[in-house]
Structure formats: C-alpha cells, structure tokens
C-alpha cells in the first residue's frame, strides 16, 4: 500500500512544498538602480540609490564604492529618504589608481537588517588625466569590515530577474520531467519491441503524451519568463527553437498512431518511430544548443546552473521540485495508461 501509492503522495507533498517555499520565501535585499551611472572624478557626487526589499530606516547604513580587492572608497554622507531610497554622497578623488580611462565600480551597501548587498558595475568613472601613481596616493587602502548577513531563509536577488527567479522551480524542473518521461517512453518502446505486449506500448504512449504536455508547459512558462527578462515571448533563442522542433517530432508520433488501424502494427511502428525520433533528438537537445550562442544559462560555454545561478537555498527547493514534477508526471501517465487499457477492454467486449 505504502509503496504502491506512497510515491504519488510524496510527489504531491514535494510539489506543495515547492509552491509554498518557492513562492513565499523572500528575496535578499538588492539594489535596483543607481543614478547617475557615469561620473567624473575630483568632486563630491550625490547618488540616488533605489533598493529592493530593503529597510533603510532601521539601523545604520554604510556604503562603499569598490574598485577591486585593494581600492575601496567609503561614502562621506548618507541621506535616508525612505525604506527603499537613499542619497549617498561620495567624494571621488581627482585621480584613479588605474591606467584605464573608464573604470567601473561596484556599489556596496550594508546595514543590520538587510545585510550586505551590492550592484556590480553600478558606477562608471571617466577620468580625463590619467595618473595611477597619484591615484594610489589619493586612495588610502580601506578595509571593509563587519559586514552583516541578512537573517532568515532568502533567495538571491539578481538585478534583471528579481522575483522571476522563482520560475526556476517551475520552468526548469518541467523540462527535466519531460526528458525523464521521454526516456521512460524510450525504455518502454524498446521493451515493447522485445516483448510485444501491448501494455508496454501503452506505457510509452502515455508517457509521451504527458511528456509533450510538460514540454508545452515548459515552453509557456519559459515564454512568460523570457518576456520579463529578455523582452520578448519568442526571441528565436536556439533552445526555444530546438524545443519547438522536439514537440513537432513528438506530435507527429500521435498522428502516426492514428494512421494505423491494426493495433499490433500501430504499436510496433509507433515504438520504432519513438526510438528513432529520440535518437534524432539527442543532438537537438544536448549537443547543438551547447555549441551555439544562447540567452539561456548553460550555453555558449557558460556553466549550466553553476554556482552563480543557484545558491544553496535555491537548491533546497530546486532539486526536490525536479523530483516532485517528475512524480506528478508519472502519476498522470499512469492514469492515462489506465484509461487506454480500459478503452481497449471496452473494444474487446464489444466484439
């Protein structure tokens, strides 16, 4: 009983956990915007800083402009406008300790409640007269100490993603579930060709059916995400195109099944096609996208889901989410399988 139905319960529990934790855990504090972005050295400049999920009214705030590990400039004054807005004034020396004409600085903020949060390349300083030696004198080495950590469980804040980072628990695991279901279909198709038992063919058929559903869901969740972050629902990204082709290939499978009257012939030819189609899809899914430029992480040489994209808190939701969606997919496939079996029996009884 427990083994027979436990996995379904497990899938549902994991998905409930995914929804609750994935949607409710707050994001870390972050910096949305800094203006002006481009300044010149040798004067006091007041920056307007917009924070996200920040509590600037509670507690003392410190701010730095960070060039590299060695050179950092502390702010001369911070005016708190409200919980999410600051005016930070930096007195930038006349010379920069670098020979580059344009140098970017990371803005780092720290207070007790929000912890340390930063915006990389927040400010660009353009210097007209370059003198690194003078710059080194005018920038006394400053150490940043006693940074705070935000307390509680949080997800990372990414400037472009913001709250949409939660889609990681829906969009990505649906792909994994789709691939696992298609792999399952490959297994059962192969088994059908050996055993010639129609149940194996039904298993493969229903797994592909649910896999295609997950594929469409993945495409839709991805399109909404892409609209938010890349600016368009469909940007002809290589993975989007390859996925669309994959779905076409598997939709052809359904048409193929319709084309044969004889159930044995249908099962045999559908199994052969499912295996052949999967072989054709291997380069589509795993090779070509990795060699082509793409907006997705994990392409054009970027590491997929590397340390930058996924922190430990996110892993605690992301990995269970994969299992949860996959188990839900299996359950759906099983229900669909039973319906197919019943239909077959109904047909047999009619004869």
Partner 1 sequence: MQLIREIAFLLHKELTLELRQKYALGGILLYVLATVYVVYISFVKVDPANWNTLFWIIILFASVNAVARSFLQEHSGRQLYYYTLANPIAVLVAKILYNFLLLLLLSVLTLGAYSVVAGYLIRQPVPFLWAVLLGSLGFSIALTFVSAIASKASNASTLMAILSLPLLIPILATVIRLAKASFIPKAGVMIPIKSDLYILAGIDMLLLGAALILFSFLWRD
Interface with partner 1 (CB under 8 A): 193, 242, 245, 248-249, 252, 255-256, 259-260, 265, 268-269, 271-273, 275-277, 279-280, 282-284, 287-288, 291
Q: Give the position of tokens 């060695």.
A: 70
**CB of residue 284 to partner 1, shortest distance in Å:** 5
Give the nearer residue to partner 1 in terms of CB position, either 103 or 271.
Answer: 271
Closer CB to partner 1, 57 or 259, in the complex: 259
CB of 66 to partner 1, least distance (A): 39
Dihedral sign of CA atoms 135, 137, 138, 141 in order: positive
Residue 316: CB atoms within 10 Å = 14
Q: Which is nearer to partner 1, 150 or 266 (CB)?
A: 266
Nearest CA among 153, 113, 159 for reference residue 308: 159
Q: For partner 1, which is the closer residue by CB, 153 or 183?
A: 183
Residue nearer to partner 1 on the CB measure, 12 or 245: 245
Nearer to partner 1, 291 or 304 (CB): 291
Nearest of 110, 92, 190 to residue 149 by alpha carbon: 110
Instruction: Indicate the residue among 59 and 263 with the shorter CB distance to partner 1.
Output: 263
CB of 246 to partner 1, least distance (A): 8
Q: Decide whether 94 or 268 has the Cβ nearer to partner 1.
A: 268
Axis crossing angle, helix 171-195 with helix 263-282, rounded to the nearest 10: 130
Question: ∠212-213-216 over CA atoms, to 5°?
Answer: 85
Q: Least distance to partner 1 from the beta carbon of 341, Å?
A: 23
What tokens were used for 277?
């189609």
Provide the minimum distance between the beta carbon of 236 and partner 1 in the complex, in angstroms, as a whole number: 12
The full 3-state SS of 94-135, as one line of letters, equals: CCCCCCCCEEEEEEEEEECCCEEEEEEEEEEEECCCCCHHHH
| Minimum distance of partner 1 from residue 213's CB (angstroms) | 18
Smallest separation (angstroms) from partner 1 to the CB of 218: 18
Q: How far apart are CA 63 and CA 119, in angstroms?
A: 12
Closer CB to partner 1, 20 or 279, in the complex: 279
Candidates 156, 269, 108; CA nearest to 204 is 269
Among the residues of 259-311, which ranges form H helices? 263-282, 288-291
Q: Which residues make Cβ contacts (< 8 Å) with residue 260, sequence separation at least 6?
A: 266, 269, 270
From CA 71, how far away is CA 73, in angstroms rounded?
Answer: 7
Distance of closest approach, residue 271 Cβ to partner 1, in angstroms: 7
CB of 276 to partner 1, least distance (A): 5
Separation of alpha carbons 176 and 154, rounded Å: 24
Residues 6+ apart with CB under 8 A from 296: 237, 239, 289
């Amino acid at each position: 009983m427990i083994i027979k139905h436990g996995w379904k319960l497990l899938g549902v529990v994991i998905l409930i956990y995914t929804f609750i934790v994935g949607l409710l855990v707050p994001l870390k504090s972050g910096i949305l915007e800094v203006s002006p972005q481009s300044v010149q050295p040798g004067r006091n400049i007041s920056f307007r800083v917009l924070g996200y999920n920040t509590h600037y009214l509670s507690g003392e705030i410190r701010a730095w402009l960070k060039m590299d590990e060695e050179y950092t400039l502390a702010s001369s004054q911070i005016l708190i406008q409200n919980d999410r807005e600051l005016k930070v004034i930096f007195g930038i020396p006349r010379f920069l300790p670098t020979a580059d004409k344009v140098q970017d600085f990371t803005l780092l903020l720290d207070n007790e409640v929000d912890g340390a949060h930063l915006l990389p390349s927040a400010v660009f300083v353009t210097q007209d007269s370059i003198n690194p030696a003078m710059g080194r004198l005018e920038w006394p080495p400053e150490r940043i100490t006693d940074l705070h950590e935000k307390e509680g469980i949080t997800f990372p804040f990414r400037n472009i993603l913001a709250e949409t980072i939660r889609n990681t628990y829906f969009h990505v695991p649906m792909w994994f579930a789709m691939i696992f279901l298609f792999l399952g279909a490959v297994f059962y198709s192969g088994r059908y060709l050996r055993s010639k038992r129609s149940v194996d063919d039904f298993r493969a058929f229903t797994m592909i059916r649910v896999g295609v559903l997950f594929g469409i869901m993945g495409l839709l969740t991805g399109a909404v995400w892409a609209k938010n972050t890349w600016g368009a629902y469909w940007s002809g990204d290589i993975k989007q195109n390859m996925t669309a082709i994959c779905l076409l290939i598997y939709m052809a499978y359904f048409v193929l099944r319709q084309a044969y009257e004889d159930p044995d012939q249908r099962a045999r030819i559908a199994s052969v096609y499912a295996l052949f189609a999967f072989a054709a899809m291997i380069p589509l899914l795993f090779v070509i996208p990795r060699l082509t430029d793409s907006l997705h992480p994990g392409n054009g040489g970027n590491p997929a889901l590397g340390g930058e994209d996924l922190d430990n808190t996110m892993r605690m939701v992301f990995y269970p989410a994969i299992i949860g969606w996959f188990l839900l997919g299996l359950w759906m496939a099983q229900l669909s399988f039973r319906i197919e079996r019943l239909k077959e029996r109904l047909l047999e009884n009619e004869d």
